Amino acid sequence: MDEYKISQTPGNKKSTPSTKGKKTTKRKGSKAPKARNTKSLSPQYVMGGIVVALVLILAGVAWAHFVAKDDTPGSGNAASVKDGGKAGSKGIVPGEAFNTVTNAIGDKNPSSLNKYYAKNVKVVIRKKGINQTVSGKSVEALIKDVLNSAQTPWDWHVSTAQLSAWQQGPYGQYFTGNVIVGISNDGTVVSIELNDNGEIITVFIAPVGDLTTPGTTTPANDTTGGGATNPTTPTPTPVDSDNAAD
């Protein structure tokens, strides 16, 4: 009985250590990382921004080109003639002027040349007996009928040999310098001279038969070469329209 009582005595149980008066330390729990308050950019927004930037850049380039062109000599008339009309230089016609003149005459629309005339223009029309200097505003009235009655198409790439023959004729001065020369299907020849500012200063029109002196032959079926010449050499070198002259 005694052993039983002893084994059943509560005092043999291990008592839990008292925590009275002691501060219990709490274990620090691992905190969940805070979610970043950022959103990824949508691909549509990125592409939209790139497109807007490209449009602005192109607009700036176009505006700069427009302003630069507007400030060049002869702006509003035609591109400047580079190195043309000076002693010892070759006659050079800018591509813009060449295209404007040839299209206006070929399309029977000489009125589109009005903004390209200089203040005073010399007009020579053999068929009408006209040889005078008039204001740029009066040129169209003089040349319109003659040019519109010429048969198309026009050849604007007259050969070197043909130009040389015309230069040696009675009207050779109209086929030198910064000139655009063409011959229509029925033999009407026109020569348009430009100054260094790209303005038209001379319009010469005559039948091809009037351009050579007796004994000087005009080569036939020879359509290679260009429409502008160098007046300083005995055998002029024709120069075609210069598309790079701006």
Tokens 């839990």 correspond to 16
Q: How many domains does the chain have?
A: 2
DSSP string, 194-217: E-TTS-EEEEEEEEGGGSS-TTPP
Residues 225, 245, single domain; the answer is yes
Which CA distances in Å does 131 have to 38, 122, 128? Answer: 83, 7, 9
Domain annotation covers residue 21 = no
Are 84 and 194 in contact by the 8 Å Cβ rule? The answer is yes
Containing 52, the helix (H) or strand (E) segment is helix 43-70
Domain boundary residue, one of 75, 95, 129: 75
Determine the 3-state secondary structure of 216 from DSSP: coil
- Quote the domain boundaries for residue 246: 77-246
Residues 163, 217, single domain; the answer is yes
Tens-place pLDDT, residues 146-157: 999 999 999 999
More confident residue, 123 or 213: 123
Are 182 and 154 in contact by the 8 Å Cβ rule? The answer is yes
Global pTM exceeds 0.75:
no
Paired tokens of 84: 């043309």
Determine the 3-state secondary structure of 143 from DSSP: helix
Tens-place pLDDT, residues 57-106: 888 777 665 555 443 333 333 333 334 333 333 467 888 888 999 999 99
- How does DSSP classify residue 226? -
